[in-house]
Amino acid sequence: MVERSNKILVVDDNSAYQRLVLESMKDHGDGSLTNHILFAENGEEALKLYAEYYPILTLMDVKIPKRDGTEIAMDIRKIDANASIMFLTNFPKDPKAMETVAKHVAMGSIDKNYGTDLIATVIGFVIKIVRIAG
């Protein structure tokens, strides 16, 4: 059985979006939790970080350069069949992402159009639950 870290991996090629997630966490009083977040801007970096940390949750942008998030999610599943992955997308009805979700590669998707506050809330909630359980 894989021992998970208390990290959350956010895979998104938009560095401005990454900063907004961190700022949203700070705005919600969750600034102390930001050290639990790992950011990757591409698939190769995401796979490396995943294999090193085995995060409790991976938030994966569907549209990233070179290889899309659905392909990277499938590669993460090869590393860890029990990985918890959710897609981040500006296109919540993206057929490829929904097909991948249906194949149980991901738990679901979060519409990025709802803003970084939602992502920050999800991250904060997951980390707090892990702290309580741990």
Q: Domains in the chain and their CATH numbers?
A: 8-133 (3.40.50.2300)
Q: What is the pLDDT of residues 49-103, one digit of tens each?
A: 999 999 999 999 888 888 888 899 999 999 999 999 988 877 666 777 777 777 7
Report the pLDDT value the prediction gives residue 75, as an integer from 0 to 100. Answer: 95
Q: What is the pLDDT of residues 112-124, one digit of tens each?
A: 888 888 788 887 7
The Cα–Cα gap between 81 and 74 comes to 9
pTM summary value:
0.84
Provide DSSP, 4-64: P-S-EEEE-S-HHHHHHHHHHHHHTT-GGGGGGEEEESSHHHHHHHHHHH--SEEEEES--
